[in-house]
Amino acid sequence: MVDARSRLFKVYSRRQDCNTNKATSVRPPPPPTPAPQELKEASRNREATGIELIPDERNVYLWTALIKGPKDTPFEGGTFELAITVPEQYPLVAPAVKYRTRIFHPNVHWKASLLRTGEICLDILKNAWSPAWTLSSVCQAIVALMSDPAPDSPLNCDAGNLLRSGDYRGYNSMARMLTCEHASR
């Protein structure tokens, strides 16, 4: 019975090419990509949000985001680069987003471990993900996190400890210094 099903599957998964009379395999259609709708939304809101989304020319699942540091923060005047990896199951599964530009922030991991460097602690990228989120809205949430850090759940303990102890001057000084060194364009 299994062999019969297997042969039937092979017959139905192959078709004749009318021009050459050769059998060719039928390939499943590629999974949908976020490119058209995401690019349209991002370009429409680019000036207002300070976010530029750029898809990789060779791989539609790899994106780069350039975000401007929010006003009245130590990140103001900086441009930060994010690496975005969109899973094939998107939008049902959250994209993986990491900072490529070094930043001093309690919710961004930046230590010697190359594997976790740039990792962002943001609930919508983990357990609070919803298919209603877009790449642009994820970047907007990251900009909001830059303005309003959550020091109680830090990935960068040094930054988190400065904020929790009330040393805003020390935190702002470190964040500003790294912004000037790494995020100035």
By annotation, the residues acting in catalysis are: 121
Bridge pairing between strands 79-85 and 96-99: antiparallel
Answer yes or no: are the C-beta atoms of 153 and 108 closer than 8 Å: no
Q: Could you give the C-alpha distances from 74 to 45, 108, 125, in angstroms and in order?
A: 24, 15, 24
At 34, the amino acid letter reads P
At 112, the amino acid letter reads A
Contacts of 25 by beta carbon, 8 Å cutoff, 6+ apart = 13, 14
